[in-house]
Structure 1
Amino acid sequence: MAPTLNFDREQDQVLFTGNSYVKVVILNRPQKLNSLNHEMGNGKAFCAGGDVVSVITSSVAGHWTYAASFYKKQLILDHLVATYKKPIVSLINGVVMGGGAGLSIPTRFRVVTEKAVFAMPEASIGLFPDVGSNYFLSRLPGYFGEYLGLTGARLNGAEMAACGLATHFVPSLKLKLLENALEDLSSPNVSTITALIETFSEKANVKEDSTFRRRGRVQKFEECLYRDYNIACHFFRGTFGYDFYEGSRAKLFHKDNKPKWEPSKLELVDEEMVDEYFSNLNDEEWEFLRFPDRSNSQIDHPSTYNGSQFHLSERTKPVILNRIQKLNILNYEMLSQIKKNLEMYENDPLVKLVILKANGKAFCAGGDVVSVIVCSLAGHWTYNSIFYKKLLSLEYFIATYAKPTVSLINGLVMGGGAGLSINTKFRVVTEKAIFAMPEASIGLFPDVGASFFLSRLPGSFGEYIGLTGARLDGAEMVACGLATHFVNSMKLNSLENVLQTVTSDVSMATVIETFTDKANLKKESSLRRDYTIGAHILRRTVSNDFYEGSRAKLFDKDNKPKWEPSKLELVSDEMVDQCFRNVNDADLDCLKLAHHRSNSQIASRL
């Protein structure tokens, strides 16, 4: 269909195409990187934000209310998109910054490609991360939202998908195929299992001083927009300072990149100065921002479901770890039993759902390291390679299980226990949950597929967890995406009683997943690499640190491991590379994973 809308100032800044069922809105100001102006993509950018140069020019000329009017219109559009009655899909195939993010992030589906680049660079010009970013940045795990807002750091498409800013990653060559397929869709459906679990979900009780607690996380989208508008108008008006203008001068006009901030140092900014920006603007020229009452939302919210009528039946099968005295540490026999029963359930047409849980105060504290050490010292290191191979094979089996799986994590989950549970479709944690990957403290490495799930956490958070062995509680697991739901431990039995209904309804998300590729490494690649490195460590090909660390932490318990080399700077690239090479040993069996298993329990982070 030909474009149907023209503008007077710049021709065809927005194009409208489509058919009777699907309409396409195309930003078409490519020479300006699709920067938004009062009237409003083709080109290399989705949208590089608002037209800051025009805002500055008009404000310097004494027309700051023009900037306020433009910003008001922009936020109203953002709200319209966020509360739109019909599904919206953003296809982000280039630069998306500032106002472009505010326009696309509220849509229910955000599809990015390898060409996507996201940033909120407002702080570099003396502004603040606006357009509702205090809503979507505050919901990112850990410090990542603050980091993006303060530094203006750029993310690529894979990183956007990993942290939840995007819902799907699709190669740019498949984008047109995806768009064509979307034309055949009607209304989307929400998974019944998701609805059931969210019936029992509660807001994680994060401590008052936790970095995860942010005002924007507990407010409605429009409330965040109201605050953005108020603060921005203070900036436009120069009510309390002119850093926005000074920053724009240094970055956009004189381009000397030497803004003279006032105050000049962060420590000179007191709380009173910050609070002033949250006060109401007292100016008769200022118009208050109002939104129409709209109950629809493109932003995912927990669904409600009355599940009291359901009870546990033959449709649902539990797998219960029951080595209580050993904190459910995994041994060879346990792995065999779990695999045998999972295979039986998968082949049973009556079974619709599998629940993985544990008795005792721990879900699973990992693999049996003591047995591993004893066997190796006795000259039977290949036994350990067999055990590890069996563990990784089980993880892959769970990750590709043909039926829905749910982990109920109500205690300690470490190492191998994390490897089992992280691969299930739904990971439900309670206030008693504690997660850690402490392998580095004993000279090992974060294994059991950690290079897959830790590498997909935002920023450097996965590296931090893997290198330090830091512990996360249930609330923090949900916040960073390691868990999908937080449920009070008192409600776990009730949840288990209703987790028996599974549907096969096709939704819009299902169709998008048809075109979705894995960003970076595939699960099986991570497991194979883990197996290779683990075999080298068990075989002592490169280093004895695993054994020395285990000695110091588990046997002699002097906590004084003598690492070799003793300093990080003495570790050469060659030593590291050796750990990734194939193991040349006739006693070692190759890890083989079934390629025909296309099912995936690893959900896209929404």
Structure 2
Amino acid sequence: MQRLKSLSVLKRWKCSNSHCLYTTSAAQRELNHFQDEVLVEGRAFSRAAILNRPSQLNAITTSMAGRLQRLYESWEDNSQIGFVTMKGSGRAFSSGGDMVTIYRLLQEGKDAECKEFFRTLYQFIYLVGTYLKPNLTIMDGITMGGGAGIAVPGMFRIATDKTVFATPEVQMGFHPDSGASFYLSRLPGYLGEFLALTGEKLNGAELVACGLATHYSLNAKLSWIEERLGQLMTDDPSVISDSLAQYGDLITVDRHSVLHKIDRIDKYFCHDTVEEIVEALTEGESHDDLCSTALKRLKEASPLSLKITLQSIREGRFQPLDQCLAREYRTSLHCISKEVSGDFSEGIRARLVDKDFAPKLTILDGITMGGGAGIAVPGMFRIATDKTVFATPEVQMGFHPDSGASFYLSRLPGYLGEFLALTGEKLNGAELVACGLATHYSLNAKLSWIEERLGQLMTDDPSVISDSLAQYGDLITVDRHSVLHKIDRIDKYFCHDTVEEIVEALTEGESHDDLCSTALKRLKEASPLSLKITLQSIREGRFQPLDQCLAREYRTSLHCISKEVSGDFSEWDTPSLKAVSKDMVDCYFAPLPTSEPELNLPTALREPFM
């Protein structure tokens, strides 16, 4: 019996010890993970903290901010360390706080963890801003939001030719935080208000010129700078500054820079309210491109965020760093609480999680028809190639051109939209660009170069993307036999109010115009009912926005598949145009039955690019 008891105790000890070992191992892995997110580089008389989440552009998490706080505090107390450096790994210093994680925590109801993030981050920023030893930040690559917040308060801020700075929070329904109301409010004139409200980007040279960075160096020289810093045995700021200057480069601010427009920025952004700023920009829009660009940015932002941000910058002008951070902390907690508005959660979802507003490119290589064209054409950039074949052949199938076709076809030159919709005529890539359905043209053989170039871009600026596409673009030549050279004749035949009148006009011209005979052949192959529905759809679409066109097409599509009036979609049962009455056509545009919900689109949140 005693032996059995001993074995039982031994078994329990082994199980307990095994669980302990497992728990310790899991905790160690988690600890290693957190440590891997902020690496430490030891030098003779200094230390470097390296933000190490390159795939997330070094977005800052609670654990990263906490580890930075502990490291900086320990280094400050260590007499064997003269100065500290912070830098990022990969193509970014830091894109800011990890807002995607914050969004997910909010969705899970973990508000306390979100509050802990802001508290930990702001505490570290204050530590950097009041650090007792020289501290350097290498702002190489993307430096935005909270990333700028942990960089700008430092003693030395090194910008490079790869630096991209911005405070884009208003576009996400948030406010420029992490000390932004302190450092932006101290920029020349009303530049801080301009940057905060528009999210305008600055490059490395501009950062030095306006005072947000203290030194400038080419990215290629950073290894020399770090090697030199690693050799220093000093805590004297002047010695460190002289060492940085040895590898510095002269800065030249581009003549198109916003810094050359300070007087105009002051004129528009000096006003007391956002409404007055918008009014001033609107008045100047006709003669000043700065106004149109700024207005576009303001319209993309949350109106509530704009007003909060302007007040924050104005108050920050008269407050020290600690008061600015305390006020921003209160504002941030109110934002995530959704007490007044849910703009923050919706903005993060749209901009960072689902990326609703990111510039969209579609490569229309090969067959692009019907619904395929529908998902391609509304995008911002549409790249056609020498292999592209476009068409809307639905009338030959007893259906109607849908998926937004009544929107984009109705906006083509003259009556080309009616011609394409009723005949199902094909267009090639060059023709798509010429008529506006595509924005760029490239040979199929160059697509791999284009995709490689796009993969290297670190921007959401449409103009930069467009310029990159243009670099690999090709000149288009529309074939002399193209239907685009027959627009006048197409307008003559397809301008009429009914399909019968169009057929009559084509019949009259058939003897002397081959366009007519080809078009008539196509119309005879199509469903008569579909032809009439399609013509009315294109004509109505000319005066409707995209959402109304899609809602109407949705009703028509549901009526088509219901076979309430005709079974043409499955198999034609309307043999001639004469057999199709106006009442039959109107049924396809009628409201849906009460049991069938209408198409609901988020029109308050989104606008089409076309």
If you compute each CA radius of gyration, which structure gives the higher value, 1 or 2? 2
Structure richer in helix, relative to its length: 2
Select the structure with the greater relative contact order (CA < 8 A; seq sep ≥ 6).
1
